[in-house]
Amino acid sequence: MTETPSVGATQRTTVVVVAPRGSSVSSGVDVCTGSGPYAALKRGTVVRVVDASGALITSVPLGTGRPSGQADGCTWSAEVELPTNRGSCRAVIEGWGSSGLLSPADLYQPITIQPTG
């Protein structure tokens, strides 16, 4: 379901959602499930990456929630290839949250999506 740019170099990065301690419920050693404001996050939730004008660059599904190392914390992530010639972008989970607008220089580190509100 990923759209791949047809021209130009790409940069691989990770989109990450981290549920802080107390905001999610671990359900095993290897898998966890969100609750409260994180209940909508699950394997397959679509992350859209858009440019500064809101045009779609690509979309990817989140992976399974994993324990984050903090008690009751979870992390969901997805690998994404982004064109280096598209300028600034943002990662969005519709109706849930987004990252800030990131410059191409910021894409060498994970893109973190925060809940809205």
Residue (of 2, 93, 1, 77) closest to 32 by Cα position:
77
Q: For 32-79, what is each residue's pLDDT tens digit? A: 877 778 888 889 999 999 999 999 999 999 998 888 766 667 888 999
Q: Give the pLDDT confidence score for residue 54 in this predicted structure.
A: 92
pTM of the complete model: 0.80
Of all residues in the chain, the percent with pLDDT exceeding 90 is 29
Q: Give the pLDDT confidence score for residue 18 in this predicted structure.
A: 83
Per-domain residue ranges of the chain: 10-115
Distance of CA 103 to the CA centre of its chain: 16
Q: Choose which CATH entry (2.60.200, 2.60.40, 1.10.1240, 1.20.1300) describes domain 10-115.
A: 2.60.40
What does the block give as tokens for 99? 């990252």
Span 79-90, mean pLDDT?
A: 86
What does the block give as tokens for 105? 């220089």
pLDDT of 2 over the 60 cut: no
Span 7-35, mean pLDDT?
A: 75
Q: Give the pLDDT confidence score for residue 94 in this predicted structure.
A: 92
**Average pLDDT of the chain?**
82
Phi and psi at residue 106, in whole multiples of 5°?
Answer: -80, -10
Contact at 8 Å (CB) between 87 and 29? no
pLDDT of 7 over the 80 cut: no
CA–CA separation, 114 and 117 (whole Å)? 9
Q: How many CB atoms lie within 10 A of CB 97?
A: 19
